[in-house]
Structure 1
């Protein structure tokens, strides 16, 4: 089945006084995997349930290949859904679980069996078809759930935090498997998660939500390197907040350096907090008795992360700043030593405290 385009248009959904979705706009290209990312309560699962047909929006529409499917029931939408909990039928074998949707569609038994075997092979558990859910590990059960969602050849695959119930190692393995299967089949996929690493590693684009609205939707690298808003910058990845002062309409002074400002620009003279990624913070060792300098602090910790080491420095005003340095330089900054911040000369976002 060819991949389908999916569009969420001006979706609104309220629960009493709580506005779960507030005009959400999002479009998925055919064959694209988009991850909905955001804190708890931002509306991402509500959006997914509306796409699936489990809930109706108060306003707005869901379109599949340009056709409005908002009035259709979940059974008529050609969507495959994988839940956080595996939701397998305990009295059915893995193969029978995978074939369940085909049985409802009155597919012949030989075709059901062949399709179930094919999909169990695809998700990496061929040979487990005769086992019952209680005889499978959590990761294996979620693979069965994925195969079941794909059995009916849906136009869109919906994943509602499918990895959150698994331990870390299995989560990494299954994350890669989901991406492999999605690419092999070329199926349009909407993936809901609150795990930023998960979203950045698996998606073609990541849509960051806040309070029922879309803050930014972009490729993972763009989202990380050029966040559109301060919320996105602080939510995705690690971010330092260092005090600075606007010295021009598009320049901020921080740690003795003047940097160009992206996004909102407060008026000159405004005290702001400058958002700096750890990899955008350089360090220089300084003598223990160096003159007072707001850009100089005391090394608190050094965390080895392989090729890089994350150095935490506490400035005189109490601000803690994290800097990612090549690990071969870590010995230059021992605990309790002194170091000066050297921000990279690149555009930054600022917020008013």
Structure 2
């Protein structure tokens, strides 16, 4: 994630999702899905999505996030567990009867149909009268900002415009749940930013429960009410973006979300941890019986000051607008990243000697690698 966007991306939501409208409540209960090769995609997933909430499923490739989305859509059948929507078990309900709208990464528009007819396709299948279909399609194209594009075919539209049409098509039947499977990953950065803001605006205005699969941390943290981090088919943590970033529940979450330094430390008799010349309080429990540990620290909590006799050496400095990320080498082959205000980082050029410190705050401590 870009250093300059971290603060905005992790800003907390001020309005509880459940107060925003009539979206459905979705529950995953003990979901397990194993494929023939012995790969376990979901390993007892328990997760609840509140009505009207936008929940992002985030994790590395193969963590199970897309499988979870396909299970709720009805494209995958779990080996064990249940999927409930507003208390109704839909685990064995066919996909075409689940009242869920899905938007794919690849758009999946019909190339021989205009934008208007693509949006109206599901209504035509359900035999909605032609006049009603046309009115609804025009309304939705207006909603997604494409009122003049109804007669255009997919090849006549940009990727961002095609994805807007796909979103309008998913909303045409007024689904109880909207499912988004990495819908922005094929777009360039500027279009991606614009479209994610539009998706969030629409989701908030409609109050529809939305599950958004992404591998992009910035997308997840900036769009979602809560983010569920998956790892090897299991839920590591589900929390608001600010909590996920500032108070990660596990070392995996701490290192996967954002950037994290891993520094050698030593537990003290007082229960604190000594690290880079400071003593810090421990967040949670330290590894039992361990003296030598590793300490997880965000770059923005690292300080660096020019000092001719300092034991750190600046290796590189990367400018990100208001923030500059400085990479320093410490004794013992340890490297540390520090995110500093650019106005204070000008003197920290490569080769300069410096002193490194940490802001006083609780830190996560894990067992030292053997």
Task: Give distance in 1, aligned partners of 2:269 and 2:130.
Answer: 73
Task: Give distance in 1, aligned partners of 2:194 and 2:290.
Answer: 51
1:239 corresponding residue in structure 2: 260
Structure 1 unaligned runs (5+)? Answer: 291-295
1:314 matched to 2:334? The reply is no
2:120 corresponding residue in structure 1: 99
Task: Give distance in 2, aligned partners of 1:248 and 1:85.
Answer: 57
Task: Give distance in 1, aligned partners of 2:145 and 2:271.
Answer: 53
Residue pairs, 1:196-345, within 5 angstroms: 196-248=217-269, 250-267=271-288, 270-287=291-308, 289=309, 296-345=311-360
Q: TM-score normalized by structure 1?
A: 0.96
1:13 corresponding residue in structure 2: 33
1:134 matched to 2:149? The reply is no
- SS of the counterpart of 2:110? coil
1:85-112 C-alpha deviation (Å, 9 max, x unpaired): 0100000000000000000110011110
1:3 matched to 2:23? The reply is yes
Give the counterpart of 1:165 among 166, 169, 186. Answer: 186
Give the counterpart of 1:72 among 93, 113, 118. Answer: 93
1:183 matched to 2:198? The reply is no
1:189-225 C-alpha deviation (Å, 9 max, x unpaired): 0000011111001000000000101000000000000
1:233 to partner: Cα distance: 0.2
CA distance 1:260–1:94, change in 2 (3 Å): same
1:134-166 C-alpha deviation (Å, 9 max, x unpaired): 000000000000000000000000000000111
1:268 to partner: Cα distance: 5.6
Q: Number of aligned pairs? A: 347
1:300 to partner: Cα distance: 1.0
1:269 to partner: Cα distance: 5.3
Task: Give distance in 2, aligned partners of 1:112 and 1:267.
Answer: 64
- SS of the counterpart of 1:71? coil
1:329 to partner: Cα distance: 0.7
- SS of the counterpart of 1:99? helix
1:334 to partner: Cα distance: 2.2
- SS of the counterpart of 1:314? strand
1:250 to partner: Cα distance: 3.5
Task: Give distance in 2, aligned partners of 1:111 and 1:90.
Answer: 23
1:144 corresponding residue in structure 2: 165
Query: What RMSD over aligned residues (CA atoms) do the two structures have, in Å?
Result: 1.2
1:223-245 C-alpha deviation (Å, 9 max, x unpaired): 00000000000000011111111
- SS of the counterpart of 2:345? helix
Task: Give distance in 2, aligned partners of 1:249 and 1:23.
Answer: 39
- SS of the counterpart of 2:346? helix
Give the counterpart of 2:142 among 121, 126, 132. Answer: 121
Task: Give distance in 2, aligned partners of 1:164 and 1:71.
Answer: 30
1:30 corresponding residue in structure 2: 51
1:248-278 C-alpha deviation (Å, 9 max, x unpaired): 4731110111111123412465211111101
1:45 matched to 2:49? The reply is no
Q: TM-score normalized by structure 2?
A: 0.92
Q: Which moved more, 1:200-209 or 1:300-309?
A: 300-309
1:293 corresponding residue in structure 2: none
Task: Give distance in 2, aligned partners of 1:178 and 1:29.
Answer: 18
1:82 to partner: Cα distance: 0.2
2:11 corresponding residue in structure 1: none
1:350 corresponding residue in structure 2: 365
Q: Where in structure 1 do 4 or more consecutive aligned residues deviate above 6 Å? A: none
Structure 2 unaligned runs (5+)? Answer: 1-20
